[in-house]
Amino acid sequence: MIYQNERAIYVKIADRVCDDILSGKYQEDERVPSVRELAAEYEVNTNTVLRTFDILQRDDIIYQRRGIGVFVSPGARHKIRIARKQEFRKHELPEFLRRLRLLDMTIDDVVKAWKNNKREQ
Amino acid sequence: MSYILRTPKRKTNMIDVQNITFRYSSKSEPVFHNFCLQLEQNKVYGLLGENGTGKSTLLYLLMGLLRPEEGIITVDNADVSQRKRATLQQMYIVPEEFDLPQMRFTDYVATYRPFYPAFSDDILHRCMDEFHLPLDARLNQLSMGDKKKALMSFALATNVRYLLMDEPTNGLDLPSKKQFRKVIATTMTEERTLIIATHQLHDVEALLDHVLILQGSKLLLNASVADLCEQYTFDVRSNDALTDDVLYSERTPQGNATLSFRQPDDEETPLNLELLFNAAHKISLTANSPD
Amino acid sequence: MNTISNILQLWRFYWRTEKKTYLRIFLICFAIYIVKTAVFDFILMRISSEAYTYSHTALFYQMYSIGTLVLMSYLFDAVHHKQRAISYLSLPASNLEKFLSRFIMGVVGVPILLNVALFAGSIVVTLVLGTMDSLAGNPTSWMRIFDYYSHHPDMAATYDFFGAMPFNRFLTILFWRNMMVLAFFSFFIWFGTAFRRAGWVYAIIVIFVLLALFILVLEIMGILHDPAPRSLRYIWGYGVPLLSILFTYLAYRSFCRAQIVTHKIFTL
């Protein structure tokens, strides 16, 4: 069993940028920190951040305006949520179900926990 | 009408070590024998190796402070052992140990900056700011770590094309190491080649573009981080997952840290420099980077 | 020319980094002169005029000469200490510019510094003695200021050449035996640069050995007791400048080939 298949650093930084977009720190059509600023913040090589920007641009989360900077694409928050839902369905959900089975628990246990959690909210 | 045939532009901005042999005295073993290496611009090189493997020696050779008995080292196509002004103006070395004169830092800067035409006050201020050091600090009153940070600020401010650092994080406390990483990340440029010789792998792991592992006058590994992450997978596995495809593994509190070939469908994993370093000493590692 | 401004830039650099050393040398020469004058010219003369001879003065000039040569041999001493060598050799200036800037500094600057220190010393001595003379009602002699070289061994030889004007005398004595001095300077600079440690010791030994051999040869040839033939003067006249150039070149070569760490005792 592979415990931690850590994601590449540039992917992790992309996740952080997406977190910041979701939380509203970077609004749509607003400027995102430059490559150098992000490299300094996460203490990584600038080329790493360039790869981050590559995948974010590929997924249309950000867009670049030559000479001005990099901005959050319109609809980015929506795109991020959809992508993360897909991630969850592909990785964490099957893993969660596998562990349920391993611990001899059923979906009813999950529903009960869900209802309790909702009541506390 | 005449057409001038353009020859393809030779990569001139680089350090070329061509078949050098170097030994400290005629009786001792050569530190380098028929050694070759090419260092390009816009890269942060990590020169790694156990103590005594010749990291410092290589840096001194690159600067022209030591002369190979055979072979030649060129920087931008100029023989570096000639110590020409134009060559030295584009190079700077931050040694592991150094003495600073008894003056204020501003005086030190005023004394040395005329020799570096590309010097940038802006970078100097930003670095000293990040390091939390006053510009007019009295150099002889600073601790060793602070002296290092001040000299590094000057080194980065010279804006040279080839910046060499010998164990830059030695003697720095944890917050200072963090400042160091930030400062390197902010000041790296496309024209610069940064070579960091160190055995403190964790301090530089995330900063490197290219890994050079030196042992016994040979390069155990000469590969870019991108290529390494593309070819190999670094993860932590339980004992039953130690399958045949694992090239190298080490026990850690989390499990077994493993190095294995990456399958094309697998997602890339972040480089585990310490694991890579240890693996390189035990097995033969190759990557697709040209020598 | 670019080289000239680069040399000036290096001089400015040396001044900023080494002025404390220059001051120390000045003060030591100054102090030695004051002490020598106080002990020999003053105390000893008052005690017994037989014990006091001007040969003491000549001895001190020999001492200053040897001191100057030893100082010269440390001109490129930075190259023999790893950390200073790293700093100096990686400084962006060509080997030639670095060599010339320090060579001129040594060959011109050191004699000037020495003379200024002695002159300053003689001013102090003159003021003190002048004051004492005034208090005792004796006539003061302010020409004492030039005393510091008045008994210089070269004085008699150059007097008839250059006349009695103090300025002329000063110039000659400043560079003492002109070309011969340059040959000695460059020889000591060469040995100081080429040897990793204490090059001046080897230099003195070599000179003594060569001198002994030379005198031996002259003795054997029986020349020593006859007036020197003209050919010897030509050898002397042309040989010494050529030797100066040779030693300077060898010193330059040693400097160019210097490395920050070396196991060799002697770098050619």
List CB contacts (< 8 A) between A47 and chain B: 209, 226
- The ipTM, to two decimals, is 0.90
Read out DSSP for chain B? ---PPPPPPP--SEEEEEEEEE-SSTTSPPSEEEEEEEEESSEEEEEE--TTSSHHHHHHHHHTSS--SEEEEEETTEEGGG--HHHHTTEEEE-SS----SSBHHHHHHHHGGG-TT--HHHHHHHHHHTT--TT-BGGGS-HHHHHHHHHHHHHHTT-SEEEEESTTTT--HHHHHHHHHHHHHH--TT-EEEEEES-HHHHGGG-SEEEEEETTEEEEEEEHHHHHHHEEEEEE-GGG--TTEEEEEEETTEEEEEEEPPTTSPP----HHHHHHHHHHS----SS--
Beta-carbon separation of C260 and B66 below 8 A: yes
- Residues of chain A whose beta carbon is less than 8 angstroms from a beta carbon of chain B are 1-9, 11-12, 36, 39-48
A48 and A37, same domain (yes or no): yes
pLDDT confidence of B190, banded at 50, 70, 90? confident
- B96-125 residues touching C, CB cutoff 8 A: 97-99, 101, 107, 110-112, 114-116
Q: Is the pLDDT reported for residue B32 higher than 90? A: yes
**What local confidence, expressed as pLDDT, does residue B222 receive?**
94
A71 and A84, same domain (yes or no): no
A68 and A81, same domain (yes or no): no
Sheet holding A62-65, edge to edge: A31-32, A69-72, A62-65
Q: Among B216, B243, B261, where does a domain finish?
A: B216
- How far apart CA B148 and CA B150 sit, in angstroms, is 5
B138 and B258, same domain (yes or no): no
Q: Which whole number is the average pLDDT over A20-42? A: 90
Give chain B's domain count.
2
**What local confidence, expressed as pLDDT, does residue C229 receive?**
62
Residue A54 lies in a domain: yes
Residue B60 lies in a domain: yes
- Residue C174: which of C203, C152, C156 has the closest Cα? C152
pLDDT confidence of B243, banded at 50, 70, 90? confident
* A47–chain B nearest CA distance, Å: 8
pLDDT confidence of C23, banded at 50, 70, 90? very high
Beta-carbon separation of B238 and A6 below 8 A: no
Using CA coordinates, name the residue in chain B closest to A34: B186
A54 and A84, same domain (yes or no): no
B234 and B182, same domain (yes or no): no
- Residues of chain B whose beta carbon is less than 8 angstroms from a beta carbon of chain A are 44, 178, 181-182, 185-186, 188, 206-209, 225-226, 229, 233-238, 240-241, 254-255, 267-270
Question: What are the pLDDT digits (tens) for B44-102?
Answer: 999 999 888 899 999 999 999 999 999 999 999 999 999 999 999 999 999 999 989 99
A52 and A82, same domain (yes or no): no
**What local confidence, expressed as pLDDT, does residue A53 receive?**
94
Q: What is the span of the domain harbouring residue B51?
A: 14-216
**Strand B91-94, strand B162-166: pairing:** parallel
pLDDT confidence of B198, banded at 50, 70, 90? very high
Beta-carbon separation of C86 and B24 below 8 A: no
Residue A4 lies in a domain: no
Residue A101 lies in a domain: yes
- Helix extents (H) in chain C: 2-36, 45-47, 55-73, 82-89, 95-104, 110-136, 155-162, 166-174, 178-194, 199-221, 230-256
Q: What is the span of the domain harbouring residue A53?
A: 9-75
A81 and A114, same domain (yes or no): yes
Residue A4 DSSP SS3:
strand
**What local confidence, expressed as pLDDT, does residue B245 receive?**
85
Asked if B touches A (at least 3 Cβ pairs < 8 angstroms), the answer reads: yes
Residue B290 lies in a domain: no
- Tokens at A102, concatenated: 């391993």
A81 and A104, same domain (yes or no): yes
**What local confidence, expressed as pLDDT, does residue C159 receive?**
41
Task: Indicate which of C12, C259, C268 best probes the interface with B, i.e. most B CBs within 10 Å of its own CB.
Answer: C259
B64 and B116, same domain (yes or no): yes
pTM of the model: 0.86
Residues making up chain A, counted from first to last: 121
Q: Any chain C CB within 8 A of the CB of B43? A: no
- How far apart CA C16 and CA C20 sit, in angstroms, is 9
Q: Is the pLDDT reported for residue B1 higher than 80? A: no
Residue A2 lies in a domain: no
Q: Mean pLDDT score of chain C, rounded to an integer?
A: 79
pLDDT confidence of B135, banded at 50, 70, 90? very high
Q: Any chain C CB within 8 A of the CB of B67? A: yes
Residue B57 lies in a domain: yes
**What local confidence, expressed as pLDDT, does residue C50 receive?**
55
Residue A3 lies in a domain: no
Q: Which whole number is the average pLDDT over B24-32? A: 87
Give chain A's domain count.
2
B19 and B116, same domain (yes or no): yes
Question: What are the pLDDT digits (tens) for C64-74?
Answer: 888 889 999 99
Residue B78 sits in a domain of what CATH number?
3.40.50.300
**What local confidence, expressed as pLDDT, does residue B160 receive?**
96
Q: What percent of chain B has pLDDT over 70?
A: 94
The packing angle between helices C199-221 and C55-73, to 10°, is 120
Q: Among B192, B216, B240, where does a domain finish?
A: B216
- Residue C68: which of C95, C36, C28, C97 has the closest Cα? C28
- Residue B207: which of C106, A45, A97, C223 has the closest Cα? A45
Residue B110 lies in a domain: yes
Q: What percent of chain C has pLDDT over 90?
A: 37
List CB contacts (< 8 A) between B82 and chain C: 95
CB atoms within 10 A of CB B25: 9
Residue C137 DSSP SS3:
coil
A19 and A68, same domain (yes or no): yes
Residue C226 DSSP SS3:
coil
Using CA coordinates, name the residue in chain C closest to B115: C92
Q: Among B160, B183, B216, where does a domain finish?
A: B216
A82 and A97, same domain (yes or no): yes
- How far apart CA B96 and CA B147 sit, in angstroms, is 11
**What local confidence, expressed as pLDDT, does residue C45 receive?**
63
Residue B58 lies in a domain: yes
Q: Any chain B CB within 8 A of the CB of C24? A: no
**What local confidence, expressed as pLDDT, does residue C231 receive?**
65
Residue A47 sits in a domain of what CATH number?
1.10.10.10
**What local confidence, expressed as pLDDT, does residue B9 receive?**
45
Residue B287 lies in a domain: no
pLDDT confidence of B266, banded at 50, 70, 90? confident
Residue B289 lies in a domain: no
A69 and A22, same domain (yes or no): yes
In chain C, what are the domain boundaries? 2-256
List CB contacts (< 8 A) between B24 and chain C: 261, 263
Residue B67 lies in a domain: yes
